[in-house]
Amino acid sequence: MFRYTKKTLLREALLILVALIFLLPFYFLINLSLKNGNDALTTSAMQLVTNPTLDAFGQAIRGGRQATLMDGMLNSIIITAGSVLILVAVGSISAYTLSRRTGKLSKAAMGLILVTMVLPAQAAIIPIYVGMRNVGLVGTHAGTIIMYAGALLPISIFLYMGFTNGIARDYEEAAQIDGASRFTVFRKIVFPLLSPATGTVAIFTGLIVWNDFFTGLIFLNGSDAVTLPVVIYNFVGESVSQWNVIFAAIIISMIPILAFFLVAQKQFIQGFTGGVKS
Amino acid sequence: MTAQLEQKAEGARVIGRQPRASKKNGREGDRGTERRFATWWWFTPALLALVLIHYAPSAIGAFFAFTNWKGLGKWQFVGWDNFAAIAEGGPTTTALINTFIIGISFVVLTNVLGLLLALGLNRTVKSRNVIRTLIFAPVVLSSLATSYIWKFIFEQGGPLNEFLGSVGLESLKRTWLGDPSTVLPAIIIVMVWQNVGLVMVMYLAGLATVSPELEEAASLDGASLWQRFNYVVLPAIMPSVVIAMTLMLINGLRVFDQIQALTGGGPYGASETLAVTIYKETFVLGRFGFGAALALVMSLIIIILTVAQRLLLRTSSKG
Amino acid sequence: MKGRTMKNAPSPAGRRFLSVAALASLTALALGACGGGDTNSNTPIAEETGPVEITLATPAFTGGGAANPYQTLIDAFKAKNPNITVKLVESPADQHGQTMRTQLQAGNAPDLFYVTAGRGNNQSFASLAEAGYLQDLTDQKWAADAIPASAKNLYYDEDKVFAVPADLAPITMLQNTGVLKELGLQEPSTLDELVTQCKTARAAGKSYFAVAGTSGANTGLQAMQLAASLVYAKDPQWDAKRANKETTFADSDWKKVLEQILKFKDAGCYQDGAAGAGFDQLFPSVAQGKVAAAFAPAGAVAALKAQVKDGSFDVAVLPGEKAEDSRLIASPGNALAVNAAGKHKGSTLKFLEFLAQPANQDALAKANGNVSITSAVSGTVPEQFPLLEPYFSEPEKKIVSQPNYLWPNSGVYDSLGTGIQGLLTGQATPDQVLKTMDEQYDRGA
């Protein structure tokens, strides 16, 4: 019944066609970024580039009157890495705590975590901003990391809980009988067991932080710690109508995440669906 | 929600050799002698985050909804005035309608297309992994980047109009993002393009758990394709359906980045949703009090619709 | 640590826990609700010695690759004051206002930054001044000297001064005179003439104007130029009347302004797809001769001339119904303000004083392509815009101040701009747009 029949061939061909059409925007993206300034304006977008050049890329890297693309990338890397580290460390241990300490408090905590998903985020932004301003954290790497980590912690805990709930206590008990402290138990036994979840959390939250635009715009615009999406936004505002340069900038900003994605595909996709297995 | 968690627990694979665990809840009662594996102090950072970054700011923000704060300087308490202004309608009504249109279209389209793609790719298609990766690729891009690419495609002199002209469909040419009758579909297309891969992948995972023997048995019994789907596949992937639809509904109602980058809410508010209005009122026009009131209203709407959708799905899956 | 007994009430650990949560909540409330800085603009400003770096923030200069006009002045200042380094920082033009507000609240704003006069948009200095973010400049004589008499109402906020004018940007029609010649057209002297010229242009396959329907700033600019002749020629004090509630947008000649735009639209004056066109498409259209004109501040012509060496460009005034109704909008709206919480106010004021000197104002205006403040203060006629001379030579009669500087909030101008987009797409009628403008105006400051 599930052999490869003619129908399957048809299905496959159709799907390949769909995928190709689906990817057309990428074709425009790459094609246009390789055209020089003049060609970009005069030739049709569908037309394949005749004199490919890396001019646009050069301009994109150099350009930007304030932070350059490289600055933005560096800041994004620092902020994303920092946030993810905190999210993994705090998220795992918090989820573990909730899993092991059952009872009313635990259920209440779980409820609190879920409700955060529907809180009015846009109304909360300004008080967070004002609060951070009052302690001098706005526009700094540390402040931004704290903010992202705090904001995404509920998601991290939620994703981890799926796994922590399923770990049997036998190993932990054995270790405790052997005299290990609670924290050692967590660190040496539980955390390694959570590595699929860690992969999921790292990828999922890392992606959100890396691509975040709105909060970055409010907290970091004009500061030294400005992240990549905000740099691109400002850049587009300056490079009026120079689509080839804009697309070159976009491609540059996409390289880290796409590379990571292609290498860690399985993990990525597994990560997104990790909590969904029924 | 608890049901969901239990299912996740069963699905979680714990690596390594391990004796079959017997989870006896009876143990929990024996508090006095059970060794604790964790202490509540470990939960402190999470608690601080919840309070400092989620609940307190939301509460403060909600408070300001009853004032006329401008973001700087003095403010006065104005009671329900902001909400009255929202209820009066005008541009807010359009924003509300747009939010619904975009949100619901987004949920439906991503789930239907995602499911179709997943069904198509499920089993035996040779280039399965490649296609899956390609269609998933837009998900990892920043929404700003995708918006700019599509903005270019939709331009008056851009590839879409060019293509239409070249196949003789001149009359269909439009200013896609500047024409009030086409701007919403255009935006929805961009949103769906970026997210359908995610839904597809969620459904693929769900479909992987449907046992082939069951399907085979059903078809041997003479069940048609549709019947097989409805009675064997669909019930099995219900949890995926619930999660995918909830996630996409919330995202669809909240969308901001793409709309801001593509049209900024134009033309004349035709593509403005609540999220865009909140941004404009709060950060561009400086009316923080009013913006906070709008944000509260939006939260309320998201809660109501999410709960409604859950109830709907629950009744349909029981039927 | 082990063997605690569990009751149904929260355990001691749990109770301790809840009190931590409560404490955290209170802290958060205190931090988050504490708005507005208390600035001490009354502390005496110290003279500074030793190397100092101050920042100047302006909107990004879109002069086609040319350097920011302030750069030459910065270099000149550095030559005279080697201890003070001025760092120039730019943000995209449409983000500048918001970035400044954000940074002022965050406490990391630059020492000196661009603002606009009045209070009508989110770059206006009035609301910033009222919130205490700007340094009071009333005691600085050179600041008062730099403000032209005609602009006192724009700069004085209850007898206090918080910003200093930088230059003057007349709002005009940017023309490609080569295209006009090609079409055999002369400068239009009335609106009806202009409409006829639009039809001529259309017949030749071009549109007269390029407008950016999606850019409220651009559509608003056009509306203000129409209003200059249709509203302010007859009633120069219209804004004051509106502030006193003696009139409204809805029952004023602003209706004629919007109806004129519809007339333009029906005559094909605007390019195809104008409703969805972006700001970035305007200048290429004029530069490449696809259209005859666009609406822009006069300074843009310098950038055009620099980019297209073999073209001929000029700025002209949009005519009125009758030739004698034509008015030019030219307000000294570009200004600079000092951060009240800046750490190097002494050096900042020194730099600002330097910029306010007439010779430097002239230099800035030249680099910017705008009109120098000195001409407004002393009443001389700037020579770089020949077609504008008749207006500058009779300023009291022929020059009108920019309307949106005197409106109470930025929502009014914003609704004008988006309203015009609605007119172009057919989504709105002039009455609807005017009604919205009145609603926004009545919301006050």
Q: Is the pLDDT of residue A102 over 80?
A: no
DSSP state letter for C167: E
Dist CA A275 CA B234 (whole Å): 18
Q: What is the pLDDT of residue B71?
A: 67
* Tokens 């350059």 -> residue: A68
Q: Which amino acid makes up residue B257? A: D
C36 touches chain B (CB under 8 A): yes
pLDDT level of residue A277 (50, 70, 90 thresholds): very low
Give residue C168's identity as a one-letter amino acid code: L
- Secondary structure in 3-state letters for B144-159: HHHHHHHHHHHCCCCH
Contact state of B178 with C213 under an 8 Å Cβ cutoff? yes
Closest CB to C273 among B60, B74, B175: B175
Which residue range is the domain that position B227 belongs to?
Answer: 79-318
* Whole-number Cα distances in Å, B318 to B312, B315, C227: 10, 5, 65
B223/A contact by beta carbon, under 8 A? no
Specify the DSSP class assigned to residue C364: H
Per residue in C283-326, pLDDT (tens digit) is: 788 888 889 999 988 888 887 887 778 888 989 999 999 988 99
Chains in touch with C (≥3 Cβ pairs < 8 A): A, B
Residue, of B71 and B264, whose pLDDT is higher = B264
Q: What is the pLDDT of residues A110-152, one digit of tens each?
A: 888 888 877 877 778 778 877 877 777 777 888 899 999 999 9
Domain boundaries, chain C: 52-168+332-384, 171-328+407-442
| B/C interface, count of CB pairs below 8 Å | 136
**Domains held by chain B: number:** 1
B156 close to A (CB below 8 A) = no
Q: Which CATH number fits domain A69-238: 1.10.3720.10, 3.30.70.120, 3.20.20.140, 1.10.1050.10?
A: 1.10.3720.10
Fold classified for C171-328+407-442: D-Maltodextrin-Binding Protein; domain 2 (3.40.190)
Is C23 in CB contact (< 8 Å) with chain B? Answer: no
Q: What are phi and psi of C319, to 5 degrees?
A: -75, 170
Upstream peptide bond of B267 is cis (omega within 30 degrees of 0): yes
Average pLDDT on C126-136 reads: 86
Closest CA to B141 of A207, C322, A39, C391: A207
- b/e per residue, B111-149, with b = 16+ CB within 10 A? bebbbebbbbbbeebeebeebbbbbbbbbbbbbbbbbbb
**Which CATH architecture is the domain C52-168+332-384 placed in?**
3-Layer(aba) Sandwich (3.40)
Q: Give which of A147, A159, A261 is closest to A201, Cα–Cα.
A: A159
Contact with chain B for residue C62, Cβ under 8 A = no
* Tens digits of residue pLDDT in A26-39: 998 988 888 877 77
- Average pLDDT of chain B, as a whole number: 80
| Domain regions of chain A by residue span | 6-62, 69-238
Among C213, C414, C421, the residue with its CB nearest the CB of B285 is: C414
The residues in C 80-99 lying below 8 A from B, measured between CB atoms, are 98
pLDDT at A79: 93
Average pLDDT, chain A: 80
Nearest CA to CA, how far is B21 from chain C (Å)?
Answer: 24
- Going by pLDDT thresholds of 50, 70 and 90, the confidence category of residue B238 is confident
Alpha-carbon span C118 to C403, nearest angstrom = 10
| Closest-CA residue of chain A to C87 | A66
The residue-averaged pLDDT of A46-68 equals: 76
Interface of C with A in 99-128 (CB under 8 A): 99, 102-103, 105-108
CA dihedral sign, ordered C187, C193, C194, C197: negative
Contact status, residue C282 vs residue C217, Cβ threshold 8 Å: no
B100 pLDDT more than 90: yes
**What is the separation, in whole angstroms, between the first and last Cα of chain A?**
24
Chain C residues lying within 8 Å of A138, measured CB to CB: 106-108
Give the pLDDT confidence score for residue B33 in this predicted structure.
Answer: 38
Q: Measured between beta carbons, which residues in chain B are less than 8 angstroms from residue A273?
A: 201-202, 204-206
pLDDT digits (tens, 9 = 90+) for B154-197: 987 788 888 888 888 888 888 888 888 999 999 999 999 999 99
Residue B77 has a pLDDT of: 87
* Cβ contacts of C29 on chain B, cutoff 8 Å: 56, 59-60
Task: Convert the pLDDT of each residue in C398-425 to its tens digit.
Answer: 888 889 888 988 889 989 999 999 999 9
Task: Mean pLDDT check: name the lowest of A257-266, B193-202, B252-261, C72-81.
Answer: A257-266
Q: Is residue B160 domain-resident?
A: yes
Nearest to A150 among B53, B148, B303 (CB): B53
Of C29, C105, C414, the CB nearest to B56: C29
| Spatial contact of A96 and B38, defined as CB atoms under 8 Å apart | yes
Q: Sort out which chain B residues have CB atoms less than 8 A from C6's CB and list them.
A: 31-32
Residue of chain C with shortest Cα separation from A140: C108
Weakest mean pLDDT among A212-226, A258-272, C104-118: A258-272
In this predicted structure, the answer to whether residue C259 has a pLDDT above a threshold of 90 is yes
Chain C interface test: which of A107, A133, A213, A231 (most C C-beta within 10 Å): A133
* Topology match between the domains C52-168+332-384 and C171-328+407-442: yes
Of the CA atoms within 13 Å of residue B127, those in its CB half-sphere come to: 17
Indicate whether B15 pLDDT > 50. Answer: no
User: Which of B6, B62, B117 shows the shortest C-beta gap to A120?
Assistant: B62
Q: For residue range B147-156, what is the model confidence (pLDDT) as tens digits?
A: 989 988 998 7
Query: Which among C6, C102, C122, C288 is the top mutation candidate for probing chain A, defined by the most A β-carbons within 10 Å of its own β-carbon?
Result: C102
Give the confidence band of C29 by pLDDT, cuts at 50, 70, 90: low
Cβ–Cβ gap C6/B32 under 8 Å = yes
Q: Which of C295, C288, C270, C348 is nearest to C57 (CA)?
A: C348
pLDDT above 50 (res C165): yes
Best probe of the B interface among C16, C214, C279, C434, by most B CBs < 10 A, is: C214
Which percentage of chain C shows pLDDT scores above 90?
A: 33
Task: Give the pLDDT band of residue C250 (cuts 50, 70, 90).
Answer: very high
Contact B193, B185 (CB under 8 A): no
Checking if the pLDDT of A260 tops 90, the result is no
Window 6-35 of C, Cβ < 8 Å to A: 6, 8, 10, 14, 17, 28, 31-35
Backbone φ and ψ for C157, nearest 5 degrees, come out as -110, 95
pLDDT interval class at B20 (50, 70, 90): very low
Are A222 and C33 an interchain contact pair (Cβ–Cβ within 8 Å)? no
Question: Is residue A43 pLDDT above 90, yes or no?
Answer: no
**pLDDT digits over C175-234, tens only?**
999 999 999 998 899 999 999 999 999 999 999 999 988 888 899 999 999 999 999 999
CATH number at residue B158: 1.10.3720.10
Answer yes or no: is pLDDT of C352 > 80: yes
* Residues B264-277: tens digit of each pLDDT: 887 888 999 999 99
Where residue A207 falls among pLDDT bands split at 50, 70, 90? confident
Structure confidence at residue B10 (pLDDT): 37
Q: Is the pLDDT of residue C33 over 80?
A: no
Spacing of C-alpha B232 from chain mean position: 27
Res B30: pLDDT: 42
pLDDT band at B133 (very low <50, low <70, confident <90, very high): confident
Q: Tell whether B40 is covered by a domain.
A: no
pLDDT for the residue B87:
84
Smallest Cα distance from A6 to chain B, Å: 11
What residues of chain C, 250 to 279, have a C-beta less than 8 Å from chain A? 279
The answer to whether the CB atoms of C102 and A128 lie below 8 A apart is: no
Mutate to test the interface with A, among B15, B25, B28, B37 (most CBs of A within 10 A): B37
Question: Per residue in C356-407, pLDDT tens?
Answer: 888 898 888 888 888 888 887 777 777 778 888 888 888 888 888 889 888 9
Share of chain B above pLDDT 90, in %: 15
